[in-house]
Amino acid sequence: MTLIKSISGIRGTIGGSVGNNLTPIDAVKFAAAYGVWLKQYRNKEHYRVVVGRDARISGKMMQSLVMNTLIGMGIDVVDIGLSTTPTVEVAVTLEHADGGIILTASHNPKQWNALKLLNEKGEFLDAVEGGKILEIAESDHMNFADVDSLGKITKNKAYIDLHIIEVLDLDLVNVTAIEEARFKVVVDGVNSTGGIAIPLLLDRLGVDVIKLYCEPNGRFPHNPEPLKEHLTDLSEAVKKHKADLGIVVDPDVDRLAFMDENGNMFGEEYTLVACADYVLSRTPGNTVSNMSSTRALRDVTEKYGGTYEASAVGEVNVVNLMKKNKVVIGGEGNGGIIYPAAHYGRDALVGVGLFLSLLADKNMTVSELRATYPNYFMSKKKIELTPELDVDGILKTIQERYKNEKLTTIDGVKIDFPESWVHLRKSNTEPIIRIYTEAKSQQEADDLADRFIEELGEIAKS
């Protein structure tokens, strides 16, 4: 059982002991710390926070705890209920709110939940602001409102519709072309809020939708991370219904992956590559993704005369570098599309709009589209952490061993070899070390990952 505090929020497993898991007491403590920070940060008379959640079994309980803590601090709450992470981000700006909290543990299994914390721009807090909240949570400096100054809760269930309208209004989302293409799509909503939002968007785009696991009851029918090995049912459904493609999202709908007409994965890394290809073809510029993302984005960017740069892992890190470099599109290779013309947050709804616009424009199948991009192959593996494992020491040893290679150490250790790379880092969202590799074939990528897993094990034992 685990409690993780990082730039990805306060994330933990439900149940267990206080301070070691995400218990109700921990939820109240961190919600209160956020409230204290918000008052210091915004320094005004009245405060308002948007709160939404994915469909996790623990979500209703967690949202109630968080909202009632905030009103206990004299902060008004806009309750948007079952929602998506990007929808809450959009709602914060439309409400002119002071911040937002999303109750979701993204791709983690059902026993997990988290508080994802937003500022007044609907963007994630950076490491400095997040650190202040953690300090407040460990202090006794949390004052609550008196009985005449309590906040109030207002419900607003319109925001998924409003979010969809914003996507449809984007200049590069070609609604007419998508409608004329008459796509047939199978949607795997992993029984969370993607099962609400994605079919609604597709209906508005004139797409024939076949729903798979779109009941928002939080009972995930498979591991909720949208990876090939978890999506055999989607593959079978695409082939059975002779669909043009399959769409799958994670529980809070900020990650997006596609499946081609043959039931094969388009590749979650290539979600961003394809959307960037479309955007860059119409609005040339620069791109950013994180260090664990495919080199194919660099190749596509340079094809259009732009420059590519990699950030540390974590959405806020990607966003900060995107703003600095004034990029036209960016994101994360895990299927996270960040399109500044919409907002600075990973958004699967925006990704669907851009991808279908590209597909309609190209007038080709999904498999044909995939064949137009450079072929890189990735391996994504992990090692479970144990208390005795000195991760920093292990990574320092790796850094020393490979000091003559091209190294990047802003987030763990990334080693760039001429035809491949490996990135080793401690996860922000799980108690693991991630080992990501990329090479010119799947076998080479897998072999490189296995080689470093073995090397890490040897260092740990020495």
The CB-side HSE value for 385 (13 A sphere, CA atoms) comes to: 20
Q: Residue with structure tokens 């890394």?
A: 269
For residue 87, the cross-strand partners are none
311 given a catalytic annotation: no
On whether the CB atoms of residues 425 and 397 are closer than 8 A, the answer is no
Catalytic residue among 106, 293, 357, 420: 106
CA–CA distance, 399 with 415 (Å, rounded to integer)? 9
Expressed in percent and rounded to 5, the helix, strand and coil fractions of the chain are 40, 25, 40
On whether the CB atoms of residues 417 and 451 are closer than 8 A, the answer is no
CA trace torsion 317, 323, 326, 332 (10° rounding): 30
On whether the CB atoms of residues 319 and 59 are closer than 8 A, the answer is no
Strand order in the sheet with 336-338: 308-311, 287-290, 329-332, 336-338
Total Cβ atoms within 10 A of residue 436? 26
> Closest Cα partner for 271 from 160, 364, 156, 354?
354
On whether the CB atoms of residues 124 and 316 are closer than 8 A, the answer is yes
Secondary structure (DSSP) of 15-34? SS-BTTB--HHHHHHHHHHH
Q: Which residues are catalytic?
A: 106
